[in-house]
């Protein structure tokens, strides 16, 4: 995939449109667009986006959505205007407390898919090696149902598009605290897609799938990998599991591109789950995935967002590190948070104490995955 003649091939591309903020459930819902707004404000305030061209996506069209979703389901999302059915068994998963109907839902969810697709196209056409769309990561959406705050499965649509545009081996890595069930399901019998999810153990967290026994079907046996981790798991243990499983899997699978779902609800302060990572551990995970894409996929890395419900203290810092990682613009954990950002979030979320530095002082200094004779720098070099 060479760069088009006469055009500059950039290392990293950031996909962004203010229309991502239209993906707004109810005021009480944990997935709030402010987490995206605060992230972009922090990245800008640190100068991370200086000289970086933002790629503005358009909404995915019906043909794009039909790669994964059924016509009936798409129509139900388009038609949904008010809560329909009973809260226990709403049709197509629409109208439950997790997925309440909101005005403009079809359009907002289509723009999220458009963002992840724009990232995929930019990489496939050789315009960039890496692209990040923090609006994406809706990994629970099923062919015919909304699930777990997810309406359309942007990563699954983009992977399907890549399969039809020159890619035969795609690795999907999902570090959100929840199981990446929708993406796993979409490609469970497709040997061209390796799905790997790390998540809080299914006996202890919704959606209660992602058991190690789920390994793929038929010709795709072995191309689904699930690594459940127990509540309370901290940076070093989580990273030990990641490094024990993921590099070997990628070395064997030899992907042409790595697609990462970068949910940050693994954080110790996240209100929805019980893992105990810090922003430092999450940063190490992003850097490890980038470096694995460099080693095994000629640098092609498509990163999307996902969960993360600490909207002031966690998501903005974690995803700013994600953007920096894709752009090769390292931000040290000791870096002070700019006062203008602190003032902004104080004005909009006065009840929360904003963080002061870009790290949490996490316990990643202990790096058992380096093994005997390791440098102590693996996954954190550069
Ligand atoms: O636990 C459930 C269902 C609803 N109950 C009947 C069981 N749903 C979860 C859905 C989590 C979705 C996570 C999305 C993502 O992976 C990617 C964007 O992060 C749930 C949870 C939970 N603790 O897992 N819903 C809620 N919490 C919830 C909390 C407050 C208000 C509304 C929903
Ligand atoms: Ca996961
Ligand atoms: Zn999640």
DSSP class of residue 380 equals: S
CA 338 to ligand 2 center in whole angstroms: 31
pLDDT-derived band at 376 (thresholds 50, 70, 90) equals: very low
CA distance 318 to 132: 13
CA distance 286 to 317: 13
Residue of 352, 321, 317, 309 lying closest to 338 (CA atoms):
317
Q: Where are the alpha helices (DSSP H) in the chain?
A: 34-45, 62-65, 71-79, 105-124, 154-163, 181-186, 235-253, 279-296, 315-326, 339-348
Residue at token pair 């693994």: 266
Q: Is 173 helix (H, G, I), strand (E, B) or coil?
A: strand
The angle at the Cα of 207, spanning 22 to 133, to the nearest 5 degrees, equals 35
Q: Is the CB of 98 under 6 A from ligand 1?
A: yes
Q: Is the CB of 216 under 6 A from ligand 1?
A: no
Q: Read out DSSP for 273-307?
A: ---BB-HHHHHHHHHHHHHHHHHHSTT-EEEE---
Which pLDDT belongs to residue 161?
A: 99
Which pLDDT belongs to residue 266?
A: 98
Q: Is the CB of 272 under 6 A from ligand 1?
A: yes
Q: Compare 369 and 96 and report the one with higher pLDDT.
A: 96
Verify whether residue 296 is a known catalytic residue: no
Which pLDDT belongs to residue 363?
A: 73
Ligand nearest to the CA of 176: 2
Residues 6+ positions from 222 with CB-CB distance below 8 Å? 215, 216
Mutate to test the pocket of ligand 1, among 87, 149, 153, 184 (most ligand atoms within 8 A of CB): 149
Sign of the CA dihedral with 204 first, then 205, 209, and 211 last: negative
The answer to whether the CB of 119 falls within 8 A of the CB of 158 is: yes
Percent of the chain with pLDDT over 70: 91
Which pLDDT belongs to residue 362?
A: 87
- Read off the tokens for 104: 């403009």
Which pLDDT belongs to residue 368?
A: 55
pLDDT over 70 (residue 157): yes
34-45 helix and 315-326 helix, angle to the nearest 10 degrees: 50
For the stretch 285-326, pLDDT in tens is 999 999 999 999 999 999 999 999 999 999 999 999 999 999
CA distance 91 to 89: 6
- Read off the tokens for 357: 């530095």
| Mean pLDDT on 191-212 | 99
CA 150 to ligand 3 center in whole angstroms: 10
Residue of 161, 151, 155, 153 lying closest to 80 (CA atoms):
151
**What is the interface pTM, i.e. ipTM, of the complex?**
0.99
Residue at token pair 């996240």: 270
Nearest atom within ligand 1 for CA of residue 308: 19
pLDDT-derived band at 378 (thresholds 50, 70, 90) equals: very low
CA distance 356 to 276: 20
Nearest atom within ligand 1 for CA of residue 273: 23
- Read off the tokens for 24: 């707004």
Length of the chain: 382
Which pLDDT belongs to residue 10?
A: 74
Q: Is the CB of 265 under 6 A from ligand 1?
A: yes
The answer to whether the CB of 303 falls within 8 A of the CB of 324 is: no
CA 104 to ligand 2 center in whole angstroms: 28
The answer to whether the CB of 173 falls within 8 A of the CB of 289 is: yes
Sign of the CA dihedral with 233 first, then 149, 36, and 293 last: positive
Selecting among 140, 178, 199, 201, the annotated active-site residue is 140
CA 266 to ligand 3 center in whole angstroms: 8
| Most distant pair of Cα atoms in the chain: their distance | 61
pLDDT over 70 (residue 28): yes
Tell me the whole-structure pTM to 2 decimals. 0.94
Q: Read out DSSP for 321-365?
A: HHHHHHTT----TTPBPPHHHHHHHHHH-TTS---SBS----STT
pLDDT over 80 (residue 123): yes
For the stretch 31-72, pLDDT in tens is 999 999 999 999 999 999 999 989 999 999 999 999 999 999
Which pLDDT belongs to residue 364?
A: 75
């Amino acid at each position: 995939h060479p760069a088009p003649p006469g055009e500059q091939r950039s290392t990293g591309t950031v996909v962004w449109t203010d229309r991502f903020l239209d993906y707004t459930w109810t005021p009480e819902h944990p997935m709030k667009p402010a987490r995206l707004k605060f992230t972009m404000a922090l990245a800008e305030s640190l100068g991370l986006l200086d000289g970086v061209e933002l790629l503005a996506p358009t909404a995915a069209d019906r043909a794009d959505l039909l790669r994964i979703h059924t016509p009936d389901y798409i129509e139900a999302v388009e038609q949904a205007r008010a809560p329909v059915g009973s809260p226990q068994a709403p049709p197509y998963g629409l109208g439950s407390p997790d997925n309440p109907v909101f005005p403009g839902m079809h359009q907002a969810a289509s723009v999220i898919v458009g963002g992840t697709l724009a990232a995929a196209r930019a990489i496939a056409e050789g315009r960039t090696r890496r692209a990040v769309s923090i609006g994406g990561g809706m990994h629970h959406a099923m062919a015919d149902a909304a699930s777990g705050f997810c309406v359309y499965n942007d990563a699954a649509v983009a992977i399907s598009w890549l399969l039809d545009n020159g890619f035969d081996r795609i690795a999907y890595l999902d570090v959100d605290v929840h199981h990446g069930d929708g993406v796993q399901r979409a490609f469970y019998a497709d040997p061209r897609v390796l799905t790997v999810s790390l998540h809080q153990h299914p006996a202890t967290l919704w959606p209660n799938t992602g058991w190690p026994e789920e390994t793929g079907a038929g010709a795709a046996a072995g191309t689904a990998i699930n690594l459940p981790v127990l509540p309370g798991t901290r940076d070093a243990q989580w990273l030990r599991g990641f490094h024990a499983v993921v590099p070997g899997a990628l070395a064997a699978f030899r992907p042409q591109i790595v697609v990462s779902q970068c949910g940050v609800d693994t954080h110790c302060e996240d209100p929805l789950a019980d893992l105990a990572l810090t922003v430092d551990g999450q940063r190490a995970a992003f850097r490890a995935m980038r470096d694995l894409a460099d080693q095994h996929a000629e640098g092609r890395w498509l990163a999307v967002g996902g969960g993360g419900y600490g909207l002031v203290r966690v998501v903005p810092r974690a995803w700013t590190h994600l953007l920096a990682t894709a752009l090769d613009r390292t931000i040290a954990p000791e870096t002070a948070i700019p006062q203008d950002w602190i003032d902004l979030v104080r004005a909009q979320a006065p009840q929360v104490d904003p963080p002061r530095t870009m790290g949490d002082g996490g316990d990643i200094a202990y790096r058992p995955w380096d093994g005997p004779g390791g440098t102590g720098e693996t996954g954190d070099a550069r």
